[in-house]
């Protein structure tokens, strides 16, 4: 039996002061850097993990958080984190937008180049064609300015003929779009566009500006500055992407200006990526909004899911601790069987296990009390007989009778101890015993054949066997234990049967392939009606005087324990005549069929 005082484990020997371990150095350094983050190790508990004490508490009792909840949250937040990363990193989508914008510039350039080739070219199909520079510049300005695209027109010799960013050739006046006028009383732009600034900073961090060549805006550019324009003069459409100094991208597309398949110049259209950046910013904002909503929903659902799992488990763990630590009271496991899930199944299993443990504890306590009571009676008789036999004035005949009583008490103690030992080992042997089909007809026939000879010789009682059912007679259980049951019942019937009487063992079966029914009838004095159930209790014995001390009162109790272990029942009753007279006792044993267990 466990002690109520925990045994402390011995502490290890202290290390030398001059040789601290690596783990202690790391812990000391972390403690200096993060004094609140490093938790102090709890003092060693009185009941450590190696302590056998039943009073040792679990380590999770003082836990301030739920590791299971943390794991559920972590696993459910991973998809949201991936969605957030996808919202931030949209390089493939950005490349698709750039390709689409370049294609749009090429189409627009072909349209403008076609217009210039039709309107601003002098000559015919059979004559040499040349481009009218003034007409081309005017047409270029009108066609391109509404689109917001900067257009440059190069002659067939590579000379810059016109630039839509300049109003005229002489003054070189550049056209720069002005910002919208500020509204009086409106907040500063720095306060209103914080989200845009954050988005632009993220875009700059993730942009691939370094992968593109640098864009240099020269006052008088040449074909060397724009290789795509040189390709256009050779009759091919070309495009390019360059990076500006402020982090923007400059997209350019060049198409040839031709008439009657004669290349007269090259048209270069350029545009920055502001529209693309705005589109990316809107997509990022929408995706981050969805990610934030998904994050909130995921956290709430994860906490709810974790609560439905962890709270019942914590309740069951605390209830299990209360049951383990109980001494006088009998705590109950909470009933969570209505959940209908695995936790409900666990709850049912724990409740069943607890009930079985309490039943086993009560049985052990009752058995110990009964053993002490049964051993005390022969010991008291033995002590009295020995004290009287040691009297010096006792005659030889009285002393011989006392010594006979001593021997009877010793044999009774020996029988009691043997039966108690068998009863105490019965549970373990029944659990370890192999369950297999048992041929009841053969078992009972061989047993009755043995008793037909021995019982008639010793007690003058005849034992007869009858069969009242059709084969097969295959039961579920163990032949050795069933043989022990039938031997105990038949021996019990022989001890109560008068000479010349008959004991009938009959094998039958309930209808519809029910259990087998074995009845053992005797012609004795019967059993008192009040004791029909008491005879199956431990150490109960009510026998004739000539059989006193020859039985421990454990036989029928062992029989019931064996039969109920294999799913059967055993009961006692009295056989009566039509006039109510008792004809003898009847024991009815019902055993499960092996076919019903498949």
| Boundaries of every domain in the chain | 91-175+193-285, 332-432, 433-597
At 467, the pLDDT band (50, 70, 90 cuts) reads very high
For the stretch 519-555, pLDDT in tens is 999 988 888 888 888 888 876 666 554 444 455 567 7
pLDDT attached to residue 268: 92
pLDDT attached to residue 216: 82
pLDDT attached to residue 2: 38
- How far apart CA 256 and CA 265 sit, in angstroms, is 6
CATH no. of 433-597: 3.30.565.10
CATH no. of 332-432: 1.10.287.130
Q: Which has more confidence, 153 or 405?
A: 153
At 217, the pLDDT band (50, 70, 90 cuts) reads confident
In whole angstroms, what separates CA 12 from the centre of its chain? Answer: 38
* Average pLDDT for 248-259: 90
Q: Which stretch of 104-108, 360-364, 393-397 has the lowest confidence by average pLDDT?
A: 360-364
At 181, the pLDDT band (50, 70, 90 cuts) reads low
Best CA proximity match to 589, nearest among 484, 452, 445 = 484
Is the preceding peptide bond at 472 cis, omega within 30 degrees of 0?
Answer: yes
Tell whether the model's pLDDT for residue 515 goes beyond 70. Answer: yes
Q: Which stretch of 216-230, 306-320, 410-424 has the lowest confidence by average pLDDT?
A: 410-424
Tell whether the model's pLDDT for residue 493 goes beyond 80. Answer: yes
The answer to whether 91 and 208 have CB atoms below 8 angstroms apart is yes
**Surface-to-core class of residue 543, CB atoms within 10 Å of its CB (0-12 exposed, 13-18 middle, 19+ buried):** middle
The answer to whether 238 and 254 have CB atoms below 8 angstroms apart is yes
* Average pLDDT for 77-90: 74
- How far apart CA 200 and CA 206 sit, in angstroms, is 10
Quick one: what percent of the chain has pLDDT higher than 70? Answer: 75
Tell whether the model's pLDDT for residue 586 goes beyond 90. Answer: yes
Tell whether the model's pLDDT for residue 129 goes beyond 90. Answer: no
- How far apart CA 104 and CA 419 sit, in angstroms, is 102
Classified as helix, coil or strand, 351 is helix
Does an H or E element contain 401, and which? helix 396-432
Give me the DSSP letters along 26-70.
HHHHHHHH-TTTSPPPPPPPSS-TT---TTPPPGGGG--S-HHHH
Q: At the fourth CATH level, which superfamily is domain 91-175+193-285?
A: PAS domain (3.30.450.20)
The average confidence (pLDDT) of the chain is 77
pLDDT attached to residue 598: 46
The answer to whether 250 and 136 have CB atoms below 8 angstroms apart is no
At 1, the pLDDT band (50, 70, 90 cuts) reads very low
- Let me know if the fold of 91-175+193-285 is the same as that of 433-597: no
Q: Which stretch of 136-140, 266-270, 366-370, 555-559 has the lowest confidence by average pLDDT?
A: 366-370
* Average pLDDT for 443-459: 85
Tell whether the model's pLDDT for residue 362 goes beyond 70. Answer: yes
Rounded to a whole number of angstroms, the distance between the first and last alpha carbons of the chain is 42
pLDDT attached to residue 521: 93
At 571, the pLDDT band (50, 70, 90 cuts) reads very high
pLDDT attached to residue 320: 84
pLDDT attached to residue 38: 42
Tell whether the model's pLDDT for residue 184 goes beyond 60. Answer: no
Residues present in the chain in total: 598
Q: Which has more confidence, 359 or 560?
A: 560
Tell whether the model's pLDDT for residue 52 goes beyond 50. Answer: no
Q: Which of 12-26, 388-402, 438-452, 455-469 has the highest mean pLDDT?
A: 438-452
Quick one: what percent of the chain has pLDDT higher than 90? Answer: 15
Tell whether the model's pLDDT for residue 270 goes beyond 70. Answer: yes
pLDDT attached to residue 508: 93
Q: Which stretch of 209-223, 305-319, 530-544 has the lowest confidence by average pLDDT?
A: 530-544
């Amino acid at each position: 039996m466990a002690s109520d005082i925990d045994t402390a484990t011995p502490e290890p020997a202290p290390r030398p002061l001059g040789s601290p371990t690596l783990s202690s150095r790391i812990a000391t350094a972390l403690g200096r850097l993060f004094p609140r983050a490093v938790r102090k190790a709890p003092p060693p508990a009185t009941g450590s993990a190696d302590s056998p004490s039943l009073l040792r508490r679990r380590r999770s009792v003082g836990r301030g958080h739920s590791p299971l909840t943390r794991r559920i949250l972590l696993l459910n937040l991973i998809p949201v984190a991936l969605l957030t990363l996808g919202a931030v990193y949209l390089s493939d989508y950005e490349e698709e937008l750039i390709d689409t914008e370049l294609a749009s510039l090429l189409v627009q350039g072909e349209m403008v180049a076609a217009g210039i080739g039709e309107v601003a070219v002098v000559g015919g199909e059979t004559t040499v064609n040349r481009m009218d520079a003034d007409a081309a510049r005017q047409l270029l300005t009108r066609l391109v300015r509404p689109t917001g695209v900067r257009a440059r027109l190069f002659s067939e010799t590579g000379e810059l003929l016109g630039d839509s960013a300049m109003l005229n050739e002489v003054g070189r006046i550049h056209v720069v779009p002005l910002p919208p006028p500020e509204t009086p009383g409106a907040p500063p732009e720095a306060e209103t566009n914080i989200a845009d600034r954050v988005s632009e900073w993220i875009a700059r961090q993730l942009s691939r500006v370094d992968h593109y060549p640098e864009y240099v805006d020269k006052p008088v550019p040449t074909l060397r500055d724009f290789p795509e324009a040189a390709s256009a003069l050779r009759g091919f459409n070309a495009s390019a992407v360059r990076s500006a100094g402020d982090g923007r991208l400059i997209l350019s597309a060049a198409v040839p200006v031709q008439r009657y398949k004669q290349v007269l110049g090259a048209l270069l259209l350029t545009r920055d990526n502001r529209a693309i950046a705005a589109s990316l910013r809107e997509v990022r904002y929408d995706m981050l909004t969805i990610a934030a909503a998904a994050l909130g929903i995921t956290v709430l659902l994860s906490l709810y899911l974790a609560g439905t799992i962890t709270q019942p488990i914590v309740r069951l763990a605390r209830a299990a601790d209360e049951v383990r630590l109980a001494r006088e009271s009998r705590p109950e496991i909470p009933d969570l069987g209505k959940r209908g899930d695995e936790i409900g199944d666990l709850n049912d299993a724990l409740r069943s296990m607890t009930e079985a443990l309490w039943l086993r504890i009560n049985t052990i306590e009752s058995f110990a009390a009964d053993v002490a009571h049964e051993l005390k009676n022969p010991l008291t008789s033995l002590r009295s007989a020995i004290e009287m036999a040691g009297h010096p004035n006792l005659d030889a005949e009285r002393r011989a009778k006392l010594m006979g009583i001593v021997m009877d008490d010793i044999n009774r103690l020996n029988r009691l101890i043997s039966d108690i030992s068998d009863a105490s080992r019965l549970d373990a042997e029944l659990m370890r015993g192999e369950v297999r089909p048992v041929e009841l007809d053969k078992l009972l026939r061989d047993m009755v054949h043995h008793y037909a000879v021995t019982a008639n010789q010793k007690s003058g009682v005849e034992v007869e066997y009858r069969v009242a059912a059709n084969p097969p007679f295959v039961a579920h259980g163990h032949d050795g234990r069933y043989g022990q049951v039938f031997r105990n019942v038949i021996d019990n019937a022989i001890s109560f049967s008068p000479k010349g009487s008959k004991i009938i063992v009959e094998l039958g079966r309930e209808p519809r392939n029910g259990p087998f029914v074995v009845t053992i009838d005797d012609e004795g004095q019967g059993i008192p009606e009040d004791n029909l159930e008491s005879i199956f209790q431990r150490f109960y014995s009510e026998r004739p005087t000539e059989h006193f001390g020859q039985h421990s009162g454990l036989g029928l109790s062992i029989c019931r324990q064996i039969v109920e272990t294999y799913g059967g029942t055993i009961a006692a009753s009295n056989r009566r005549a039509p006039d109510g007279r008792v004809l003898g006792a009847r024991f009815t044993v019902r055993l499960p069929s092996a076919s019903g267990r498949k």
